[in-house]
Every structure is written in C-alpha cells, then in structure tokens.
Amino acid sequence: MNANTPACPNLPVPTLQLREGALWLEERPLADIAARFGTPTYVYSRAALESAFTAWQEALAGRRALVCYAVKANSNLGILSVFARLGAGFDIVSAGELARVQAAGGRADRIVFSGVGKTAAEMRIALEAGIRCFNVESAAELERLNAVAGELGSTAPIALRVNPDVDPKTHPYISTGLKGNKFGVAFADAFALYQRAAALPNLRVAGIACHIGSQLLDPAPMAEAAQKLLDLVDRLGAAGIALEHIDLGGGLGIRYRDEMPPTVADYLAPLLAVFAGREEELCFEPGRSLVGNAGLLLTRIEYLKPGETKNFAIVDAAMNDLARPALYDAWHEVVAVTPHDGDEQVYEIVGPICESGDFLAHDRSLKVNAGDLLAILSAGAYGMTMSSNYNTRPRAAEVLIDGSEMHEIRRRETVAELFAAERTLA
C-alpha cells in the first residue's frame, strides 16, 4: 500500500490508516512513536488539524467571519501554533490560556475571553494585551470590568453572553444554554443589561455572544438560538445600540462511535441563512470539532487479567490521562495498533489507578497480547487538557505528526517535577 491508502473507513480519525498490517498516522507507524517517546502519549495529526480548520474557513468564505478556536479543548502550544498560522482567533477562559495563545504566536486582537468567573487581575492582563472582546456573563462582571478598565484608563470591548434557552439535545453536563445553568445572562434581562453597558464610561458595546452546549449533532437548535439573538440585535439597534459582531459559540459535535454529525457546511447553512444580508461579523468558537478527531491516545497493555465475569486489559494510560470515560461515560474507539491473528476476546480496558471508575472502555472485542499497543481514538479534545497527576502519575507526552515527521510538542513530565513546588515541614 502507499501514501494514498484510504483512511480506515470505520475509524473516525481521517488520517489514520491500516498499512502493512499496522496503524499509521499520516506517514508514520504509531509503533515508531511509542518506540521513540514511550507510552502513554497523545498523538495528533497536523493534516487533520488543518483540514478541520479549513473546513470552517471554506464554509464561511465570502462572509465577514472569525473562527476563534476554543483553547480549553486542547491548549498545547504546538496545536495553538498550527491554528495561529492559519489565521485563527482564539476563545480563552483564563489568563493562563491567554499566555499560552501569546506564547504560540496568536494575535491578541483575535482573542475573545469567555467564562463566568473572570478575576480583576485577569481582566487587567487581557486589557493590557488588547484582546478583541470580553464575553461578559453577568451584571456584576459588567460593573467590575468597567471599574478595571477605568483604573487602566482604557476601554473594554464587550459582548454579553446571553442564554437563548434552547435545548441543544446533548449530554446534560455539556448543555449550557438552558435556563437554570450558570452560564450567560437570561435572555429576558439582556436588553436592560445592554442599556446599562452602553451607559458605562469604560465599556464599548461590541457584540453579542451565546454558546448553547457541546457535541451538538443537530443544527436546528443553533439556528433557533441565532434567530433569537438576531431579534435581540434588532431591538437593540432600534434603541441606538449597534452591535458589530455576533458570536455563536462552539459546540459542533464529532463522531466518536456511530454519531452522524453534520459537516461544518451543513451545520452552518441554516445559521448563515438566518444572517443572510446582514452586515455584522460572525464569530464562532469551535473546540472539539477542530481537534477531537485529530488526536489519539497511544497506550501499552501492561497485563491481561482474565476474570470470572470479565477480562481486563490493564493499560499504562488511565483516567488521569483521559478523564472523559470516567467523567461522562464517554465512548472512545479502541483499536489494536498491530492487529494479529488469534481469538478475539472481550475486554474491559482499564488503567492502574486505585478507583473502580478508572476505565477507558467497556466490553471491547480485541485480539491482543500483553505488551501490545492500543490507540484510543478521538482523544484530541478534552483529553490532555483535562488530565491530572492523580496517583502521582506524570502526564503523558504529546507528539504532533506532520507527514513522516514526529514533533514532540510536550515532553513527558518527570516525577521530580510533580512535587517540585512542595515542601516538607522543617
């Protein structure tokens, strides 16, 4: 087989292929990565990152629009730099993420700052950096931002994140646009808050924002939210408060198993229809859809442990590396990196952590031996960024594949680093 070998048709990662009896990502066997960098290691495909981003750019061609990558999905500098080179903006939720974007070469004037708990210190840092917009989530935040901008003698560009109260039909933990959750300001309060914002001397009303949830598979709720936002924009315009941009948040879902997410173009079509003929710049904050299927977690089987009711494959990755299965009961495809002949067995894929919740996958049929490598797919989003050092486990290395090149974009932590900031009692 050659470089044109089609991607495995049943695997959600576009640049993963079965070649010469083994899994390759772009032009590299995954086994090479394990040999050079060890396991567990997150592995990303540059081509997959770029094609995911370009799909957004192409679907928005001909419109004034900015795609702001949601940094919390995967904040590695190597990943951020790939998007910065493509002209991306960034959606951040902390001063830490702002520093990452700057370190990766991202432009401050393309950064939007989301989140319900921005501190005064974070506001100062973001104002001094000259970010594009603060997506403000409460009346109290509006007042604080006005005060902080006043102290600095500057003006803060703001959008109110409104809660359009539409049901995104996704997992309750990742649904954010319904009444009764902590995000955004109530739709009914938004008009009065805009009037308040317009009257505050150190704020400049720039736009409006919403983000209704994550892993959305149906474009209809987004189009419904967009229509609600637009009605509000028009009422504000009539009252003399003109908005320059409309930020529709992130949330487009990906295929983990058998989900059928719309293409970016199909997802955006009903939205763009709502905004046909409008002048406002559109802004989007995709996270998962840009990185989720561009990454996998490479892990090695330490032991096979037959049980009375279940067989376990105990691997060297764990819930501290990939929390989504334990946290959301999320499903990730698990494939053998070097499939071999023999009997298929059903396994629980578990890590070494002392928690019964430490599993990566349930009931998977695999032909594997101890020592084999497994690839846990669709792990590019909310994988490494949600990892921890629980059980004093150094976090995984991260490698970006670019053609046949392997770039170590984060080296594995050492145990000494894990407690370097700690002190024993004298």
Ligand X SMILES: *Cc1c(COP(=O)(O)O)cnc(C)c1O
The answer to whether the annotation marks 267 as part of a ligand binding site is no
Please, which residue, 164 or 351, has the CB nearer to ligand X? 164
DSSP state of 117: T
Q: Which range in 11-19, 36-44, 69-77, 294-302 contacts ligand X by CB under 6 A?
A: 69-77
Binding segment (CB under 6 A) for ligand X, from list 59-67, 237-245, 283-291, 302-310: 283-291
Residues with a catalytic annotation lie at 354
Closer Cβ to ligand X, 40 or 286, answer by number = 286
> Under the criterion CB under 6 A, does residue 114 sit at the interface with ligand X?
yes
A 10 A CB-CB count for 56 gives 22
β-pair partners for 164: none
Smallest gap from Cβ 51 to ligand X, in A, equals 17
Strands (E), 155-280: 156-163, 185-186, 203-209, 245-247
Q: What is the dihedral of CA 246, 89, 273, 236, to 10 degrees?
A: 10
According to the binding rule CB under 6 A, does residue 185 interact with ligand X? no
**Least Cβ distance, residue 22 to ligand X (angstroms):** 31
- Residues 189 and 152 sit within 8 Å (Cβ to Cβ): no
The H-or-E segment that residue 420 falls in is none
Task: Judge whether 251 is annotated as a binding position.
Answer: yes
For the CB of residue 70, give the shortest distance to ligand X in the complex, in Å.
Answer: 3
What letter does residue 304 receive in the DSSP assignment? E
Q: Smallest distance, Å, CB 371 to ligand X?
A: 35
Does the footprint of ligand X cover residue 324 (CB under 6 A)?
A: no
Does residue number 249 form part of the binding site for ligand X (CB under 6 A)? yes
Q: Based on the shown chain and the rule CB under 6 A, indicate whether residue 333 belongs to the binding site for ligand X.
A: no
Pairs from 270-274 (Cβ < 8 Å, separation ≥ 24): 270/219, 270/220, 270/222, 270/223, 271/219, 271/222, 271/223, 271/226, 272/60, 272/63, 273/223, 274/223, 274/226, 274/227, 274/230
Q: Which is nearer to ligand X, 78 or 286 (CB)?
A: 286
Largest Cα–Cα distance in the chain?
73
Query: 375 pairs with which residues across the strands?
Result: 298, 335
Consult the annotation and say whether 355 binds a ligand.
Answer: yes
User: What sign for the dihedral angle of Cα 7, 11, 16, 19?
Assistant: negative
296, 43 in Cβ contact below 8 A?
yes
Q: Is 285 in the site for ligand X (CB under 6 A)?
A: yes
Pick the piece of the chain touching ligand X (CB under 6 A) from 22-30, 116-124, 284-292, 355-363: 284-292
The smaller minimum CB distance to ligand X, of residues 291 and 337, is found at 291
Q: Is 249 a known ligand-binding residue?
A: no
Q: From the CB of 291, what's the least distance to ligand X, in Å?
A: 8
Q: Which of 73, 166, 223, 315 binds ligand X (CB under 6 A)?
A: 73
**List 89, 177, 251, 380, residue binding ligand X (CB under 6 A):** 251
Q: Which region among 66-74, 140-148, 228-236, 321-329 touches ligand X (by CB under 6 A)? A: 66-74
Whose CA is closest to 340, among 381, 370, 320, 312?
370
| Residue 255 phi, psi dihedral angles, 5° rounding | -85, 120
Q: Is 286 annotated as a binding residue?
A: yes
Asked if 74 touches ligand X (CB under 6 A), the answer is no
Between 173 and 419, CB nearer to ligand X: 173
Contact between 378 and ligand X per CB under 6 A? no
Question: Does position 214 bind ligand X by CB under 6 A?
Answer: yes
Cα gap 118→124, rounded to integer Å:
10
Is 36 labelled a binding residue? no
**Position among 177, 261, 286, 380 found at the interface with ligand X (CB under 6 A):** 286
The reply to whether 207 sits in an annotated binding site is no
Question: Could you tell me which of 43, 73, 75 has the C-alpha nearest to residue 298?
Answer: 43
| Among residues 157, 250, 325, 380, the one that binds ligand X under rule CB under 6 A | 250
Q: Which of 168, 287, 380, 383 binds ligand X (CB under 6 A)?
A: 287
DSSP-assigned states of every residue in 46-113: HHHHHHHHHHHHHHTTTS-EEEEEEGGG---HHHHHHHHHTT-EEEESSHHHHHHHHHTT--GGGEEE
Interaction of residue 70 with ligand X, rule CB under 6 A: yes
* 186-223 CB burial, b ≥16 within 10 A, e <16: ebeebbebbebbbebebbebbbbbbbbbbbbbebebbb
Q: Is 278 annotated as a binding residue?
A: no
The reply to whether 288 sits in an annotated binding site is yes
> Which part of the chain contacts ligand X (CB under 6 A), choosing from 147-155, 286-294, 364-372, 415-423?
286-294
Nearest-approach distance from CB 35 to ligand X, in angstroms:
32
**Residue set of the binding site for pyridoxal 5'-phosphate:** 251, 285-288, 382
Contact residues toward ligand X (CB under 6 A) are 70, 72-73, 91, 114, 211, 214, 249-252, 285-289, 381
